[in-house]
Amino acid sequence: MGGIAVLARQAGHKVSGSDMNVYPPMSTQLEEQGIALIQGYEPEQLNEEPDQVVVGNAMSRGKPVVEYVLNRNLSYTSGPQWLYENVLKDRWVLAVSGTHGKTTTASMLAWILEYAGLKPGFLIGGIPANFGLSARLGESPFFVVEADEYDTAFFDKRSKFVHYHARTLVMNNLEFDHADIFENLDAIKKQFHHLLRTVPGEGLIISNAEQPNLDDVLEKGCWTTVEKFTENSADKAAAGWGVRLLEETGKHFEVLLDGESKGQVSWNMIGAHNRSNALAAIAAARHAGVPVEVALESLSTFTGVKRRQEIIGQINGVTVYDDFAHHPTAIEETLQGLRQRVGQQRIIAVLEPRSNTMRMGVHKDKLAASLALSDQVFLFQPADIDWALDTVIDELGEKARLFNSVDAMISELQRMMKPDDHIMIMSNGGFDGFHQRLIAAMEAE
């Protein structure tokens, strides 16, 4: 919704918005774009009647501002519907979907198009470092959008991505998530198939070959050419896009298409998941007319996304990272990538289980295994979670600690950290300012 506000502002509209507990980097972006941010959901903010109210999916019946909109018969729409009608309708939409990797892949794709001189528009659920903002209208037909499967609004329970009418569609992966709105995995597959139904026959679908759930979606019916990609296949001559590592850390690799080398990438991104993201972005950009060699060259200058394995501090030999991981698969992939990069140096994982699915306990049996590659684990126990994290602590053993206080976590981290440690903070929220408070404490020490 912050990105949609930015697009509306760039289109020349006067824009304000309301939310609770907005935190950087989005709060900073909104301020820089001249967008008024109102804390809370009281109806007084609408006393100056707007021409259009755009309703995010965090808004539910019973919130005073929502009831005011309905009672006064104000004109309202959803974020995805506004985006389609005002921005996407006449554009070549490149949509990036999947349970994980949407933000990073969309950021890579937008940067490839930018590097190629295409000046794309984009709407991304994070802030790509190469651009410094999460959304822009762009100056060409091409528009990159992060295509989320979460529902649209309280009055439209379809997944957001069916509104976007993609011509180029990336499907990164598909797992069970968002247990607050989806009953089971099949319900999510159904929404993904609704998405497939919107892609034109002359378009392109780019799908992860190692995701059987995506194959299930394609088997329900597909009317569009499909290209597959895989980072991990032992058969590098297989049809589709692949990778050949040129050194152990993964900083230098070769990109293959149908077993034939298309060139090499040298970069500072970590993890097999990011190489997989890169393959999807390269394939999507090629569909928009970008030569593969240009895409590979651009990725060597890709500088990542805020809150995605972002280094936020290096103090007295200790490196601190901020990462958005909040699903066991994403947690494991993040730690695998860091382990591949740092070798035997100590990794301390700090996790706030904040997502609705995690708070409901849907992934509690997989959480300990996802953290196994770390040397020490600091788990935060939120007050409003539906289950106790003691079971995870028991499974992880002596290397794990459980806290219900951010201050206590920071104190214990300061006590035990030593040079060459890597502290990976994983949360999809503000974590009560944990990141900034830890850095401040380390600098003061």
pTM for this entry = 0.79
Domain range summary for the chain, segments of one domain joined by +: 2-77, 81-299, 310-444
Q: What is the CATH number of domain 81-299?
A: 3.40.1190.10
Percent of the chain with pLDDT over 70: 98
Helix H or strand E segment including 189? helix 185-196
Q: Could you tell me what percentage of the chain is helix, strand and coil, using 3-state DSSP and rounding each to the nearest 5?
A: 35, 25, 40
Name, in order, each residue with C-beta under 8 angstroms of 366's C-beta and a sequence gap of 6 or more. 328
Percent of the chain with pLDDT over 90: 65
List, for the chain, all residue ranges whose pLDDT scores fall below the cut of 70: 179, 233-238
Angle value at C-alpha 43, between 40 and 45, nearest 5 degrees: 75
The answer to whether the Cα torsion of 383, 388, 390, 391 is positive or negative is negative
* Residue 317, helix vs strand vs coil: coil
Q: How many CB atoms lie within 10 A of CB 312?
A: 16
pLDDT at 237: 52
pLDDT at 233: 59
What length does the chain have?
Answer: 445
> Phi, psi at residue 226, to the nearest 5°?
-120, 130
User: Under the phi-then-psi rule, with left for phi > 0, alpha for psi from -120 to 50, and beta for the rest, what region is 207?
Assistant: beta
Contact by Cβ (8 Å): 358, 179: no
pLDDT at 238: 66
Tokens of 302: 């890709």
Q: What is the CATH number of domain 310-444?
A: 3.90.190.20
Task: Classify domain 2-77 by CATH architecture.
Answer: 3-Layer(aba) Sandwich (3.40)
Give DSSP secondary structure letters for 334-389: HHHHHHHHHTTS-EEEEE---SHHHHTTTTHHHHHHHTTT-SEEEEE--TT-SS-T
pLDDT digits 0-9 by tens, 335-364: 988 898 888 999 999 998 877 777 777 778
